[in-house]
Chain A
Amino acid sequence: MKRAFCLLLAIVILAVPFVSVNAESEMSDYCVYDVSDVLETEAWGDMEERAMGLSLEYKCGVYVILLPGFEEYTHYDDDMNMAASDILSRNDLGYGADRDALLLLIDTSKQTSAYGATGPRGTALFNATALSEIDPSIASGTASGDLDAAISSFLDECARLFIYERDNGKAYGYTAEENDPEPVRDPDAMITDCVYDYAGILTADQKDQLEKKARYLSELYEFGVYIYVVNDYNDVYSSDDVWYACEHVYETQGFGYGSANRDGIMLFMSMDDRDFATYRTVGKGYYAFTDYGLYELEEYFLPDFRRNDWYGGFQDYLTYCDYLLDLAEKGTPLDYDPSGENDPTYPSGEDTPSKMTFQEKCIVLAPGSAIISLIICLIYRGKMKTAGIKTQANDYIAKNGIRMYDTRDIFTHSTTSRTRVHSESSSSGGHSSGGGHSFSSHSGSHGGGHSGKF
């Protein structure tokens, strides 16, 4: 039972796009996910019972996830704490509508652990002060392989934090000023700037003009429209792809309109390597900026950037955002198909997988089927002819008959080659067309978008 369930969870976690747990449910069915399959069934049952009991009693999900290598389950492969929160969000784990949750993430291969939290209560409970004082035996237990003790200590800590919160009316060590660096937001208004030019490619006057227009659009459509320009995106967030820096900025700078959904779109540019990325939030963002609409938007402003016309490009970006948001307001977003056969609204927040035509399927399947069939037939045919000259005499090597007298590996020299990569992206997805541009598609916990070069 436990093994089958963990296998199912592994499939769910690995699935791209991620499959969400029913958001309307109060709580997911399980709290302890042993994907690594290292816990004894009885111990797992006890932990599950205890974690679920805490979750239901204090109305905040308490989770323990054991993975054989956390990097495979998130794109935050260099930050396990970020990975922990990301895994919670991607799988919609948590309690109630706010998905409040606390997580102990254990990498059983590296014997390391990290903590994650989602929802307002979850993040308040796991504030910096609380985490700094958390029982060190959890980490030491993980490192020494005593997982039962580590998980038990984690559950004890959660219980302690819950009880403190219940008795004192606030989370242990939590103060809004210290623990929430983001500005207190007016839920019905934009409070941040819309245009950020850290690369200095705009004049003050140009930036003011763009700021006014972006803010006007944001207020008009109640949808944040942002421009963020840096010299090197790795200074913002170290990653292989500019898109993750874009997502990081949006998620950490308090961007978005309204407190609930933080709706918005952002154009992120990294000037040194001429990288760009676009990010729009799930819900209204995906509705107004369909995958096709986003592609058309990029087609609209990228020619300006290729001519180094930064101001013109940003103006075109805002103009086309206005156009797409207006269409969405009218209930006919670009690429919207009323028949629903090719629904571009992506209510789940994920890209719709492209359907192959019959011809495309034949082109893919016919040669592959023929080759596999031929290989199978040749294997069987080989069994019809068993006479053959032997070329080796391994059967006749004497016992302990191999003796090595000299074994040396001598380094001689190194060569280095540099090859220009013509593909402008890592092509994890996306498309290009004649006269169009190439991009990679990405999706995160709260939004998705594209990245590419200009």
Chain B
Amino acid sequence: MATQVTNYQCPNCGGPLRFSSEKQVLVCDYCGSEFTPKQVEDFYAEKDAAASQALNELEQQLDTNPEEIKTEWEYSGSEWSENMRVYSCPSCGAQIMCDENTAATSCPYCGNPSIVAGNFSGGFKPDYCIPFKLDKDAAVRALKDYYKGKIFLPRAFTDENHIEEIKGVYVPFWLYDGDVDADVSYYATRSRSWMEGDYRVTRTDHYKLIRNGSVSFVRIPVDGSSKMPDDHMDAIEPFDYSELKPFSTAYMPGYLADKYDVDSKQSLPRATGRAQRSSLSAMTATTGGYDGVSVASSRFRLSNGRVRYAFLPVWVLSTKWKDQNYLFTMNGQTGKLIGNLPVSAGKFIGTFLGIAAAIFAVGYAVLTFM
């Protein structure tokens, strides 16, 4: 069983450090000291040397490439066969049992943030991460704002339901770069009509349109976690990549994190599908001026492909109402919150009838008095 669990302790008092999304530094809750991720990394560099050495040896045994994620949509990493792992908390010594993919968590006994260093090293080391910019309070406020203006939301839902769990999670994402070479042909028609006696004559000119071009994409994100719903992860896009930072475990304390369990090869079809559809749209946008345009044939070819591994910040909020779970997710960087709300059938029907009656009344008045 691996026991490579570490946590960052305050160099001043030994208390646990956590990453503050507001200040973008590591903060000690006991003595109030603040450290930048770089300061903490440097401080622990020497201390972690032995552990790093051990990890390097382990990676060599696993025959993984210690450098960055390979290009050409390839990613290689070792997969463990067992699902659960037991770690020893470096603060209190308690046994922590968690998922094999868990990379950052907190000790259920002493509450100190803990990092499973093995899940951040070697082939599992992310290239980038975007630190959390919004805290838990912002997520709660965003959820309450999300309820506003939802006229079909049952009143009891907002009154009775309580947030059961709020988690700040660094979700593993694959970021795909690449060019799509598109070769598309269309059938197009242009018609005009005129009257000849009792007959309406319509002349239709038929065209074949050829469009050949290429579209470059940068960092199409696809989440590499099977635990996170794909529709939620897609809907909270986009992230602001200008704030991407080289990965450091110093950003992790205080949040949860899992290493990827869907590899880049498995995620690739989702990225290529989106890229192809956008490429087709870009080609079709150049076919204006016709009455009708339909695709006759299309071919797409990927080139210059490259994939990067990144941890992106997501707040996960779950509520329960009438024995049904409702999940909401918020982009931890931009604050975009999404989720599906229950619809009150009574409110829906009442609103439908009310609007219909109002339109009917106005229409009736117009027809009567015009």
Chain A interface (Cβ within 8 Å of chain B)? 240, 273, 353, 356, 361, 364-366, 368-370, 372-374, 376-377, 380-381, 383-398, 401-421
Contact = CB atoms under 8 A, between A and B. Distances in A.
Contacts of A398: 216-218
Contacts of A365: 359-360, 363-364, 367
Interface in B213-243: 213-221, 229-232, 234-235, 237-238
A331 B319 CA distance: 82
A404 B217 contact: no
Nearest to A372: B359
Contact of B204 (A384, A390, A404, A415): A415
A415 B206 contact: yes
Is chain A's binding surface mostly helix, strand, loop or mixed? mixed
Interface stretch (B42-50, B74-82, B275-283): B275-283
B338 A410 contact: no
A384 B207 contact: no
Contact of B206 (A372, A377, A385, A412): A412
B282 A361 contact: no
Contacts of A381: 152, 343, 348
B199 A409 contact: no
Interface string B190-221: 00000111111111111111111111111111
A405 B202 CA distance: 34
A415 B210 contact: no
A421 B200 CA distance: 6
A414 B343 contact: no
B322 to A, nearest CB: 16
B151 interface: yes
B271 interface: yes
A416 B189 CA distance: 12
B355 interface: yes
Contacts of B357: 369
B273 interface: yes
B235 A386 contact: yes
A417 B202 contact: yes
Contacts of A420: 198-200
Contacts of A407: 210-212, 286
Contacts of B213: 402-406
A370 B356 contact: yes
Given A393-B217, A402-B215, A386 B339 contact: yes
B199 A418 contact: yes
Contacts of A404: 211-213, 286
A375 to B, nearest CB: 10
A397 B351 CA distance: 41
Contacts of B317: none
B152 to A, nearest CB: 6
B150 interface: yes
A395 B219 CA distance: 10
Contacts of A376: 355
Given A380-B151, A397-B215, A415-B206, A387 B232 contact: yes
Contacts of A414: 203-206
B341 interface: yes
A391 B280 CA distance: 12
A452 to B, nearest CB: 12
A393 B359 contact: no
A387 B338 contact: yes
Nearest to A240: B195
A372 B357 CA distance: 11
A419 B200 contact: yes
A1 to B, nearest CB: 28
A437 B189 CA distance: 38
Nearest to B181: A405
Interface in B225-280: 229-232, 234-235, 237-238, 271, 273-275, 277-278
A410 B209 contact: yes
A399 to B, nearest CB: 9
B153 interface: yes
Interface in B149-179: 149-153
B367 A361 contact: yes
Given A361-B364, A404-B286, A420-B198, A397 B216 contact: yes
Contacts of A413: 205-206
B188 interface: yes
B359 A385 contact: no
B151 to A, nearest CB: 6
Which residue, of A388, A396, A413, A415, has the highest number of chain B Cβ atoms within 10 A?
A396
A242 to B, nearest CB: 12
B363 to A, nearest CB: 4
6 contacts: A373-B353, A384-B150, A388-B234, A396-B220, A404-B211, A418-B199
A391 B274 CA distance: 5
Nearest to B337: A386
